[in-house]
Chains A and B, each alone.
Chain A
Amino acid sequence: MSQATVAKRNNKPPSPWKSANPNRKINNPGAVPSLNGRWGYMFTAPFFVMFLIFGLAPIVYSVYIAFFNWDALGTQEFIGLANFSELVADTRFWNAMINTFDIWLLSTIPMLVMSIGLAAILHNPFLKGSTFWRTILLVPNITSVLAIAIVFGQLFGRDFGMVNIVIGALGFEHVDFVQGTTSSHIAIASMIVWRWTGYNALIFLAAMLAIPNELYESAQLDGAGKWKQFIYVTLPSLRNTITFVLIVGTIGGLQVFAEPLILGGSFNGGDSGQFSTLTLFLFEQAFVAYKWGYAAAIGIMITLIVAIVSIINFFITRRLAGAHK
């Protein structure tokens, strides 16, 4: 050991907390090099241990039992891909898939338009009481789907629901929002829109506040009015946020089950399955029919669909982004 090292050591005893080798490979460019990185394993260990037991292991096991005829009573018979071939031929599955996408479309498009519109209003620096309005926007998001579905179920009631009373007052026939296919989808979509529009408006507002004012200035110099500024400055700057909201909304939208569950009062999604969704179908198979293997297969299909739709989303928005530049 050289004199210099000894002197340095005497000068300052090595802390066990300090990095042993400051010149080691950089794995994390944002990290603080003088902190001992090895503690990272210990700090992240609780997360990984818990996640392995309660997150990953059940998922892996789920993939395993998807290849079995497996029920709650103890039947465990390996049947290969039979669950999947049965699923592909199951009209209830395709019905649930169509319903899920229909509800997703009916909720996503109005929600996107309204939340961007609300965000644009809140973006105006002359708005009075902006904190109040922002807070109000989040109110629908804090309650439970159950409580809201009970209220909406009553409001959409066939005979005495407020919605039908208004429809009747306008001179139209009452609509049955439970028995009908499209009408029940509208009822479910309206619950989703009510719950998430304000939340997404806040996300869009945050993104709008991050747009540099210079862009608006130069647009104004070019003679662009309010509307043109919105189309040519605001909307293009929101592209990433729209992708984000769409992907998160898709993952959530493809897993809708609580609203239809409460609207119909059972896992079958209406008398003829007119508002059965993919996740509701999974739960029905798992916890009413107790066909665990089959339900696991449905879960895998849902995951695949979520992945495919997310990838499509991603590429479409990337393509659009490229086209604009």
Chain B
Amino acid sequence: MTVIAKPNKRPKWQKMGAWGYIALVLTTLLSIFPFYWMFIVASNGTEEISKIPPTLLPGPRFFTVVNNVYEALPQFNQALINTFYVGTVVALAQVFFSAIAGFAFAKLNFRGQKFMVLFVVLTMMLPSQLGIIPLFMLMGWAGLIDSLGALIVPALVTAFGVFWMRQVIDAQVPNELLESASIDGAGVFRAYWSIVLPIIAQSSFVLGLFSFLAVWNDFLWPLLVLNTPENFTAQVAVNQLKSSYAIDYALNMGGAFLSTVPLLILFVFVGRRLVRGVMDGAVKG
């Protein structure tokens, strides 16, 4: 997929000019800078950066600031663990439910199929905050307020995931394979397990990653349903630092940095797959 059009086949393409590279380097700097700046502020302290011109180099105070973060919110590590837990559960559930539903929508013939797919597509268009008040009430009735369950249960499956998986299975799994399997006596489950699943493993992984990232970065809903610090997610914890002090940039950025580092580490390993996922989805979607 990452293979681009072969240059030698079309010699008429003009060579990359220097301007192209300049634009890309500039984009790279702009993309990286806010992350770098988080670390600069967190390692220098608020006073150091409140100078003109401000320092652009890392300072010596990083661990002091980290200490301050843990002093202001001793549950910060717990928050990271909570987020990791919720993200993993949601990612696994979304992949599982989306893949079986997507498989049915792509490859099975049943009444109402067309209408159901249309229904899925239409629901993707609805703004997510439309039902947020009743959802909040629902969580109250279910006794899930101030528990991680309030983050997990409503997120187990999304219309987006189902639609995405349908597109993936439609495009990647050849009907002939399924036909020949069923001629050999394989039923729907067997066909799904031994043919569809291995083919869509890569795309499922990408969907899982995106679900995980969405959970990690979700901000308002956890803020609404979580109250006690033991149950905070990373974003709520960072927000807590913000509200508990008059703007202490070093503390805020220290928290933001700590909550971002796990994502950056993850990205080093999976970045290329995410890129492929975005580009694959674009062509089919």
Residue of A55, A160, A241, A306 touching B125 (CB-CB under 8 A) = A306
Number of A-B residue pairs at CB separation under 8 A: 341
Q: Would you call the interface of chain B mostly helix, strand, loop, or mixed? A: helix
19 contacts between A and B (CB under 8 A): A28-B105, A28-B106, A31-B107, A32-B175, A35-B109, A37-B109, A38-B110, A43-B100, A44-B100, A54-B153, A131-B2, A136-B28, A139-B32, A142-B213, A145-B217, A145-B219, A146-B235, A154-B41, A165-B52
Q: Do A282 and B16 have beta carbons less than 8 Å apart?
A: no
A151 with B272, Cβ < 8 A, contacts A44-B116, A50-B97, A202-B279 known: no
Determine whether B74 belongs to the interface, using a CB cutoff of 8 Å to chain A.
no
Q: Do B31 and A265 have beta carbons less than 8 Å apart?
A: no
A62 with B133, Cβ < 8 A, contacts A17-B189, A30-B175, A217-B10 known: yes
Q: What is the CA–CA distance of A265 and B246 in the complex, to the nearest angstrom?
A: 11
Determine whether A272 belongs to the interface, using a CB cutoff of 8 Å to chain B.
no
| One of B63-71, B84-92, B197-205, B248-256 contacting the partner | B248-256
Contact with A along B125-149 (1 / 0, CB 8 A): 1111111111101100000000000
Q: What is the CA–CA distance of A299 and B2 in the complex, to the nearest angstrom?
A: 41
Determine whether B113 belongs to the interface, using a CB cutoff of 8 Å to chain A.
yes
Q: Which residue of chain B has the shortest Cβ distance to A201 in the bound complex?
A: B27
A203 with B282, Cβ < 8 A, contacts A139-B31, A147-B238, A254-B127 known: yes
Give the residues in chain A near B157, CB-CB below 8 Å.
46-47, 50-51
Give the residues in chain B near A37, CB-CB below 8 Å.
108-111, 113
Q: Do A17 and B242 have beta carbons less than 8 Å apart?
A: no
CB proximity to B under 8 Å, residues A14-41: 15-18, 24-28, 30-41
Q: Do B130 and A138 have beta carbons less than 8 Å apart?
A: no
Q: What is the CA–CA distance of A54 and B275 in the complex, to the nearest angstrom?
A: 30
Give the residues in chain A near B252, CB-CB below 8 Å.
150, 154
6 closest A-B pairs by CB: A17-B187, A58-B131, A40-B110, A58-B134, A43-B104, A144-B217
List residues of B whose CB falls within 8 A of some A CB: 2, 4-7, 9-10, 12-16, 20, 23-24, 27-28, 30-32, 34-35, 37-38, 41, 49-54, 97-98, 100-101, 103-114, 116, 123, 125-135, 137-138, 153-154, 156-157, 159, 162, 170, 175, 178-179, 182-183, 185-191, 213, 216-217, 219-220, 224, 234-235, 238-239, 242-243, 249, 252-253, 256-257, 259-260, 263-264, 267, 271-272, 274-275, 278-280, 282-283, 285
